Structure formats: C-alpha cells, structure tokens
Amino acid sequence: MRKRTKLATAMVTALVAATMLVPVSTAAAIDEINTKKLRDAVTTAGILGHERVLQRIANQNGGTRASGTPGYAASAQYVKTTLKNAGYLVSEQKFTFPFFRELEPSLVEQVSPTPKVYPSTTFTYSGSGDVTGTVVVAGGTVVPPTAGPGLTTSGCAASDFTPASATEPQIALVQRGTCNFEIKANNAQAAGYDAVVIFNEGQTGRTELLAGTLGNPETIPVTGLSYEDGAALYTATQTGKVTLHVATSTEANLEAVTSNIIANTPKGDKNKVIVVGGHLDSVVAGPGMNDNGSGTAAILETAVQMSELKIVPRQQVRFAFWGAEELGLLGSHHYVDTLSDQNLAKIYANLNFDMLGSPNYVRFVYDGDGSDTTLAGPPGSAQIEQIFTSYFASQNLASAPTEFSGRSDYGPFIAEGIPAGGLFSGAEGLKTPEQAAIYGGTAGVAYDVCYHLACDTVNNLSTKALGEMGDAVADSVLTLAKTKSGFFEDGSRMARQAISIDQFDNVGGLWVR
C-alpha cells in the first residue's frame, strides 16, 4: 500500500478509530449466497503456502519484490503459472513506468540555531541532492492545525511560496494536507527552492513520521518529518533564522518495465465482470509479505479453490494482480486507462484487498456509503460494504469503517464510477485503546510496525488476521460472482431507487458528501 496518490487530492488518509459490531441488515439488494464450502477451502495454511513462495522469491532477489526488479518478475511468473494450472485464462499486461529506489537514507538536520538530527524519510521520486539552506515556511501552514484532517492548504498554491533567493540556498517547509505531495513539491521548485521538507498535518492519526510519493520524478530533494518535528521547526522560524541540512541519494529509471497479471474465469457472464484485485509488488526496502503478499496470497488461494471446487460463477470473475502500486497505483491506472469504452462498461464491481495480515490488526471495511466518513464510493459501493459487514457480524466478529482515501488500487475504478469495496487490516496508523479493547493487540502501537520495512517478512504476519480476512475475501468474491439480483432494487447495476448521486460531489474522482 502506498502513502498517497493523485486521486487523494483534498482527501484525508484516516484510519477510523470508532469500531463497532455491525448488525446484519435485511435491506441489502445482494442475494445471500452460501459460501461455506469455499470459505472452508480457503485456509490459513493455503494462504501461507503462497506467502512462503513469495518470501523465498524475495530471499533469492535481494530481499525485495518491487516492480522493476527480478523479484517482481519471479513473483509474477509464480502467480501466472499457478493460475494457468488452475484452469484460468491468464494474460500478462506489460507497461513502462518510472522506477525509483533510495540509495542512502535521507538526512535532515538543523544546523542552527540548535544543532539537531531529525528522523526523516525520502519521498518516492525525490531527486538526489545535498543542500544546506535557510528554512522558509510555505503559506497556508497552520500550527497547530485548526481545520479537519486533509484541509490544511499549505503549499497547494503557487502563491504560497515567495520567490526563493537567487544567491542563497533555501529550503521550503510545507505541511501535509488538501493537495497531493507532487503539487506542493512542484510549486516549491517552480519558486526556486533547493529542497522541500514536508511534515505531517497534526490531527489525530496524522502525527507520525511522514512518508509519501510524488507520483513523478523530481530534481530536488523532498523529505518527510513527523508533525512534532515539523511544528518545532515552524516555531523556531517564527523567532529567527533557521538553517537546515537536507540530503538524499536516489535512483530513477523512467522506462522500467513491469506488468499486471490478469486471470479470467472460463465461464460467467462476460458482460458483468467482477474485478478482484490487489497489488503484487512490494516496496524496494523489503519483501512485502503483509504489504501486499497477504492480499496477493488470499486472492490467489481463493481463485485456486474456486477452480478446485468447480464453482461456475454467474458473473465472470477477473483476478488481477497489479504492478507498481507502490509507485502510484500505476498498474491499476494502466489497466483502467487502456480499457475500451465497451469493456469499461462491462466492469460490474471492483474488490480490493491490500494488507490483510497486519500483526496488530483491525478488521477495516471500506466505507462504501460514506455514512461513517466524509467519502462514499460510487452507487453500489454501499451494498459491497454491507457484504463484508454482514459477513463479519454473522461470525460474531467486529468490523470498523475506513474511508476511500485514494491510497490503494480501488482508486482508478471509483474514479470511473465503478462500485468498489474491500478490506484492510491497518498500516502505519496507531491502534486506539478502543480498538485494542475490541480486537485485542496493543494500543498506541502501529497496526503493522514493519510497514514498508525489511522486517515485513512471513514472520510479521498475524495468522489469525489472515484466517478471518481470508474467509471474508472468499465470501465476498463468491457472493458477487453468484448474485442474481444485482446491487439495486430493480436488479440492475444502474440505480433507480438507490442513493442519489446528487447527494455527493466528485472531488478528484472520489464521491464526497
């Protein structure tokens, strides 16, 4: 799972703290399908079998399965061979993308007035550089923040940056919020700044060390700080000159090649296609057994067991394993962007599974109807959400809503109005005391302390989470594959009496109340 995407413009990246046991509702338009045989067949052991293969692939390829590396190519080959052997119609969709890797850890240190080294990150697609210069705060920065998450406008307008000095190096200090990181970095660079430091926004869930992607290669260093450190720098600039030393070392290849693996069920209505997807790539820094070996393995095992059970779907099911998600949802964007109008119209729904085995997990469900967050998916997404919440409730398991923040591969689908939903077990956010009381685990600790790190190995996985979330994957896939009624009261995909789209605004491809 990546930190940020262009589709997240004006969006918040929240992990909702409120949790609840959602009761089964009788208002769902989706048929109730008996999924027990498939759920029984999709076991934790089966999921872990795929995870172990992916781990060995990473071990044999420098500890990574990132797109553009031999580890990704081997992962794609394993998935492709497994699906072909299971009888699926498999294709590999290759595409070029801008590869990126960090060669050395970033450095952000205050030179004066108080020497101090800050924990920092290098943003994906940051340029290389070594800059010592005066800190200049971008307009729109508010410490402490006075608006809600994602609403701080720091650096989002060109006018937020006074023209940089032509004779003295200067470093822009920018706060997270509202627009994507690429816009902030581009505005600073256009104003002549030599480096950019972006610190977290400051609201609950937005205080930790910030990492992110710029979407496209930049020429100047762009680094991230926690809210606490960024706010301290901001405060220091209010009383005098502050000098920072910022250094990054990166590598980019604008014409790297990677691929998506696409597998169709031989049977099922080809005019109603359920795309079940998750990203196959890891970050360069690690093997990615949770992010997203867990989603990959759960989807793959579901596909294998559907074949073993000789399940014939009513709708065609398309299993998709996306490349280059960690660099900006590039694989899913490429897939959606290259669909013809006719084939786009045949996509009935998208299910997305990105991180299902977090060691300090919560059973998060994307908030399709926007009832618990500020965002809603396109019409039909509410019914997909209810498939998951009703299933968990039927097993006496709590679940919690999480918003469509644009962080994963559902983004390109909902931008085209395709109903979407999925599961998420948590990333770098901290588990709340309320969540710990319901789900177990440790409050105040990240859902996945190895998120985007080398320690995201098979040993990082919660087998309990894999079992529970894997069953929910199987249940949702089979339910959508077999339903006769569709999402809406008239049995169609088009809503006659469903939630009116007029209740929402389309912002950056996402539906917002």
Residue by residue, pLDDT tens for the chain (513 residues) are: 765 433 343 333 332 233 333 333 333 457 889 999 999 999 999 999 999 999 999 999 999 999 999 999 999 999 999 999 999 999 999 999 989 889 999 999 999 999 999 999 999 899 999 999 999 999 999 999 999 999 999 999 999 999 999 999 999 999 999 999 999 999 999 999 999 999 999 999 899 999 998 988 899 999 999 999 999 999 999 999 999 999 999 998 889 999 999 999 999 999 999 999 999 999 999 999 999 999 999 999 999 999 999 999 999 999 999 999 998 899 999 999 999 999 999 999 999 999 999 999 999 999 999 999 888 999 999 999 999 999 999 999 999 999 998 889 999 999 999 999 999 999 999 999 999 999 999 999 999 999 999 999 999 999 999 999 999 999 999 999 999 988 876 666 544 333 333 333 444 444 343
**Whether residues 187 and 307 fall in one domain:** no
Of 201, 228, 253, which one is at a domain's C-terminal end?
A: 253
Q: 505 lies in which domain range?
A: 6-88+265-512
Please check whether residue 444 lies inside any domain of the structure: yes
**Whether residues 110 and 242 fall in one domain:** yes
Q: Is 6 helix (H, G, I), strand (E, B) or coil?
A: helix
**Whether residues 219 and 292 fall in one domain:** no
Please check whether residue 1 lies inside any domain of the structure: no
**Whether residues 445 and 508 fall in one domain:** yes
**Whether residues 390 and 321 fall in one domain:** yes
**Whether residues 64 and 113 fall in one domain:** no
Please check whether residue 258 lies inside any domain of the structure: no
CATH number for the domain spanning 134: value is: 3.50.30.30
What is the rounded distance in angstroms from the CA atom of residue 73 to the CA atom of residue 78?
9
**Whether residues 246 and 167 fall in one domain:** yes
Lookup: tokens for 81: 């061979």
Q: With CA atoms as reference, report the closest residue to 2 among 424, 445, 355, 329.
A: 329
Q: Residue 32 catalytic?
A: no
Of 185, 219, 253, which one is at a domain's C-terminal end?
A: 253
Among candidate residues 51, 182, 201, 325, the one labeled active-site is 325
**Whether residues 233 and 293 fall in one domain:** no
Please check whether residue 260 lies inside any domain of the structure: no
**Whether residues 314 and 344 fall in one domain:** yes
Of 230, 253, 276, which one is at a domain's C-terminal end?
A: 253
Lookup: tokens for 128: 């290389």
Phi/psi of residue 503, each to 5°? Answer: -75, -10
**Whether residues 269 and 230 fall in one domain:** no
**Whether residues 26 and 84 fall in one domain:** yes
What is the rounded distance in angstroms from the CA atom of residue 277 to the CA atom of residue 297?
11
How many domains does the chain fold into?
2
CATH number for the domain spanning 308: value is: 3.40.630.10
- Cα torsion angle, 395, 399, 404, 406, sign: negative
**Whether residues 313 and 248 fall in one domain:** no
As to burial, measured by CB atoms within 10 angstroms (0-12 exposed, 13-18 middle, 19+ buried), residue 235 is exposed
What is the rounded distance in angstroms from the CA atom of residue 222 to the CA atom of residue 129?
9
